[in-house]
Amino acid sequence: MRTDHHGPLTVAVIGGSGLYELFEDGLERRIDTPYGTRVEVTIGRIGGREVVFLPRHGRDHSVPPHRIDARATIWALASLGVRALISTAAVGSLHAALTVGTICIADQLVDRTHGRADTFFDGAVVRHLPFADPFGGRLRTQALAACPEAVDGATVLVVQGPRFSTRAESEINRANGIDVVNMTLYPEVALAAELGIDTVALCLVTDLDSGESAEDAVTAEAVFAVLAEARPRLVSAVARIVAAVPADYLGRDLLDRDAIEQVLRAPVR
């Protein structure tokens, strides 16, 4: 296990289901946060540079979607200087063209979660986040150029989880123009944007949501089988995107630099 690192930590990778490790030899760090959650990250090399990695659900997939402390995660990454975030996510497809095994790069997001802490500005300092294009930064353009095999664009619906959709929900979502369904990208993407971090979401289609019949409805076992098969392709895509991010990448336009600094100065516990 390494004991030090060199250079700026501009880029982070959050691994979704099935992506729990990224480096053979990494430096482990534990970061205390203001939210009572200690975030464990690994710093290592991929795509020719040092990046920060953490598995969204924990290394043993022990944290369910609705229990992820996204504020602690994003605060920890921002405290390390991260400006570009590559998030991988397992998704169920509602679009005929997005077949199982497809990697798509999301361009829109619909939130249907509840009870999740989704802002850093919920106290004396209030800021209103421009979020019309949640994945509208330069990072997405660079990711598409680095991964020509990925489908350009998908509207991802984030549901509460951990259960999968009913057949009626799938039909309603499809009729409303939803392309893929996920459980974790919100509030992660919005919180990152509040702290000036640009996010690209690599969405791997693992299933057809409720399916057209009982035989092809999603199961956890089927999802993890697809994730295991696709892992080398997903890691390759991540490495190419990392390599494409400029060393001096500045991230999203900041809401208010002073307000963000105030968030990052909050006492840890």
- The residues, any chain, with a CB within 8 Å of residue 95's CB and separated by 6 or more, are 154, 174, 179, 180
Q: 9: which strand partners?
A: none
Tens of pLDDT along the chain (269 residues) come to: 455 655 678 999 999 888 989 988 899 999 999 999 999 999 999 999 999 999 999 888 889 999 999 999 999 999 999 999 999 999 999 999 999 999 999 999 999 999 999 999 988 788 999 999 999 889 999 999 999 999 999 999 999 999 999 999 999 999 999 999 999 999 999 999 999 999 999 999 999 998 777 777 788 888 889 999 999 999 999 999 999 999 889 998 877 888 899 999 999 98
| Counted domains in the chain | 1
Report the CATH number at residue 234.
3.40.50.1580
Residue 187 is assigned to a structural domain of this protein? yes
Domain with 193 in it: 11-248
Residue 264 is assigned to a structural domain of this protein? no
Residue 82 is assigned to a structural domain of this protein? yes
DSSP string, 216-266: GS--HHHHHHHHHHHHHHHHHHHHHHHHHS-TT---SPPS-HHHHHHHHTS
Residue 261 is assigned to a structural domain of this protein? no
For 223-256, the pLDDT digits (tens) are 889 999 999 999 999 999 999 999 889 998 877 8
The catalytic site residues sit at 207, 209
Residue 228 is assigned to a structural domain of this protein? yes
Residue 267 is assigned to a structural domain of this protein? no
Residue 151 is assigned to a structural domain of this protein? yes
